[in-house]
Amino acid sequence: MKNKFAKYFSSLVYIKKRGLINRILSILVILLIFIIFVFPVIWMVAMSLKTKAQNIASPPLFIWEVTYNNYKLAITKYNFLSFLKNSLMVVLPNIIITLLVSCPAAYGLSRFNFKGKKDLAFWILSIRMAPAMAVVLPFFVIGSFLRILDNPIILIIAYLTINVPFAIWILRGFFDEIPIEVEEAGMLEGLSRFGVFLKLSLPIIRGGLAATIILCIIQAYNEFALAMFLTSFNARTLPTLVTQFQSHMGILWGPMAATSLMATIPIIVLTILVRKHLVTGMSFGMVRGK
């Protein structure tokens, strides 16, 4: 009897010990993941709050007198706002055209059957995969013929190659999820096909539609290679601004970090908002997110 109790207690202690070790290990792993993935961004916040001398101090400073001067500089000296305006002047028209073109196409691909539909869908997807440099070269030469280099128009057009195929694929997946009976009911109510699309199907997928819009905004807003080569002075967008902090005295880390943060934070917030659809978006709808 005694022996049994001893065994029971020792097993209890053993489990508890193991539980404790597991818990410590688990905290360590989570901490490690946090340090690896988030600390670089936190350090960027620190950089943006340091003076020039503090930023190049060796060893790096972990306690310092905070300065907000970099944010002031970013706005006054480095024209953050005009770059932001340029970005918006490209992103917003691009998104509007993308939606006007992609929503009906996605609906068409989802709701109708025709010969070669699958091939067409895959052809559309493969356009999204094109490398940026293969787009830059022809757009650069054509743009110089048409004299639209360094004009928001060329980026609005060029970003269609990214966003239209993407939006069609993602939206098609959302339309596929609407049961056909819902639409038939709408038609019995006397709605035309277009009426069903506009008044029934689009409102049903509004969550997915919002996510698609946000993902398209992120892609256009973050794009770098096309913006770098197709604009030079007047139409430069935010991602290219950060490359302008290289002076003959080295890189101006403070203003660079301040600008980058102001440019990135809206995107981080937007992405966290659509995190449920992130997997669907990143995999072009091949993997359904939860």
Nearer to another protein by Cβ, of 138 and 207: the residue is 138
Give min distance, CB of 5 to another protein, in A.
28
Task: Sort 52 into a burial class: Cβ within 10 Å, 0-12 / 13-18 / 19+.
Answer: middle
Give min distance, CB of 193 to another protein, in A.
6
Phi-psi label, residue 237: left if phi above 0, alpha if psi -120 to 50, beta otherwise: beta
Nearer to another protein by Cβ, of 5 and 145: the residue is 145
Beta-strand runs (E) in the chain: 246-247, 250-251
Query: Of 8, 77, 23, nearest to 258 (Cα)?
Result: 77
Greatest CA span in the chain, whole angstroms? 96
The answer to whether 227 and 241 have CB atoms below 8 angstroms apart is no
Type of residue at 100: L
Type of residue at 74: A
Nearer to another protein by Cβ, of 13 and 31: the residue is 31
Give min distance, CB of 101 to another protein, in A.
5
Q: Which residues of 164-199 are buried (b: 16+ CB within 10 A; e: fewer)?
A: bbbbbbbbbbbbeebeeeebeebeeeebeeeebbee
Give min distance, CB of 78 to another protein, in A.
14
Nearer to another protein by Cβ, of 157 and 209: the residue is 157
The answer to whether 281 and 208 have CB atoms below 8 angstroms apart is no
Nearer to another protein by Cβ, of 8 and 39: the residue is 39
Nearer to another protein by Cβ, of 21 and 141: the residue is 141
Give min distance, CB of 191 to another protein, in A.
12
Integer Cα distance of 254 and 74 in angstroms: 9
Give min distance, CB of 38 to another protein, in A.
5
